[in-house]
């Protein structure tokens, strides 16, 4: 990255602005931040040094509709006026809204802001890119303001009520990191003229489905049931939800089951990846002595020393694997082989287990048979 590159971000203290500023600085870009507490002189100084302007400043929840014009139109007019007065031609990237196609006070102000930049591109040969964004979600968005995702995540994480007027209400959303990644493509030389661009992927859901997913994230601590994080929207949404958990509440205890052998606790489970659990086993104790018809497992000793034994239920030959917590070695457990794990060390043994299926009491697929026949 060119160390001399300076980018100007208006609305730098807002939701998208904060995410963009962090990403720009991580890339080694010098960032000039402009927000509501900045002066015209601040804007001039930043404009004179900047190669690209990301115009994110705007108003979407004013006390009076007239503020839409001053906030959304006036702010971009100030940027254009400064470029002309200072005789500089930075590329300008505008964060507009899909509401620009809607005939309301907010939409009209966003459309007018676009038109101001269109005229600037034609009049001055400037490089202008306009993005009409749908709802944007992600970390650092203000809850209980104008983002239903932020509001649901914040309230549900705190066991506060949420309001759903119409569960079928359709939503179109983009993720803030996808927005930032797309904006970062404008750090190179930009051709003159007007362009319109889009951020992808766009996720489509409903108000009811959104609430259901987020409520499921909160319930994970008791159900241990993970959502399908292979789904791009779910993966982004759960990251957003976790960013709204209060730091003091990030840790939580697992339910433990104890007996003479030691302690056992489930960590996570899902129909898509199976089940993860952990156990503590006392010295000399053996766990297992059973086999599965279809279920497979993986054992990883995290602490202590163990012997894992196998025997085909159709034969008599026993295979042994000695493993230690210092190795982080994984042992596969195939079906049709009875198996056991014995703590052969002098201290407690800690083992991490993965199973290909979530345990089902009605169909456990677990059958007792000693590995070592007397």
CB-neighbour burial class of residue 123 (10 A; exposed 0-12, middle 13-18, buried 19+): exposed
Side-chain half-sphere CA neighbours of 278 within 13 A: 13
Q: Are 311 and 286 in contact (CB under 8 A)?
A: no
Rg (CA), the chain: 29
Q: How is residue 363 written in tokens?
A: 């169909």
SS3 call for 185: helix
Which residues, listed in sequence order, are joined to residue 278 by a DSSP beta bridge?
A: 265, 352
Q: At what angle do helices 148-157 and 232-243 cross, to 10 degrees?
A: 60
> Is 244 a catalytic site residue?
no
What is the C-alpha to C-alpha distance for residues 283 and 304, in angstroms, rounded to an integer? 9
Instruction: Tell me the three state secondary structure of residue 344.
Output: coil
Length of the chain: 374
Tell me which of 106, 131, 154, 175 is the catalytic residue. Answer: 106
Strands, sheet with 297-303, edge to edge from the N-terminal-most edge strand:
256-259, 262-270, 274-281, 349-355, 297-303, 330-333
Active-site positions?
Answer: 106
């Amino acid at each position: 990255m060119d160390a001399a590159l300076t980018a100007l971000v208006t609305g730098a203290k807002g939701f998208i602005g904060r995410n963009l500023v962090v990403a720009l600085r991580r890339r080694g870009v010098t960032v000039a931040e402009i927000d509501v507490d900045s002066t015209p002189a601040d804007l001039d100084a930043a404009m004179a040094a900047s190669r690209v302007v990301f115009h994110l400043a705007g108003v979407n929840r004013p006390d009076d509709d007239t503020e839409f014009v001053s906030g959304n139109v006036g702010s971009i007019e100030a940027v254009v006026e400064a470029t002309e007065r200072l005789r500089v031609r930075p590329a300008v990237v505008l964060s507009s809204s899909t509401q620009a196609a809607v005939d309301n006070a907010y939409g009209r102000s966003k459309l007018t802001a676009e038109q101001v930049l269109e005229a600037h591109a034609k009049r001055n040969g400037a490089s202008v890119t306009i993005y009409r964004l749908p709802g944007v979600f992600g970390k650092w968005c203000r809850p209980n303001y104008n983002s239903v995702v932020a509001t649901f995540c914040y309230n549900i994480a705190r066991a506060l009520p949420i309001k759903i007027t119409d569960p079928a209400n359709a939503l179109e959303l983009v993720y803030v990191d996808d927005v930032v990644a797309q904006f970062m493509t404008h750090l190179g030389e930009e051709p003159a003229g007007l362009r319109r661009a889009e951020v992808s992927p766009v996720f489509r859901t409903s108000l009811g489905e959104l609430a259901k997913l987020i409520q499921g994230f909160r319930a994970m601590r008791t159900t241990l049931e993970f959502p399908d994080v292979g789904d791009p929207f779910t993966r982004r949404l759960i990251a957003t939800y976790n960013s709204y958990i209060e730091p003091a509440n990030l840790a939580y205890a697992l339910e433990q089951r104890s007996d003479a052998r030691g302690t056992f606790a489930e960590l996570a489970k899902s129909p898509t990846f199976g089940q993860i659990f952990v156990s503590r086993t006392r010295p000399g104790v053996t766990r297992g002595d059973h086999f599965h018809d279809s279920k497979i497992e993986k054992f990883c000793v995290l602490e202590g020393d163990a012997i894992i034994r196998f025997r085909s239920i159709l034969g008599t030959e026993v295979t042994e694997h000695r493993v230690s917590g210092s190795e982080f070695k994984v042992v596969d457990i195939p079906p049709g082989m009875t198996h056991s794990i014995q703590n052969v060390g002098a201290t407690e043994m800690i083992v991490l287990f993965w199973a290909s299926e979530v345990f089902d009491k009605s169909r456990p697929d677990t059958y007792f048979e000693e590995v070592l026949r007397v």
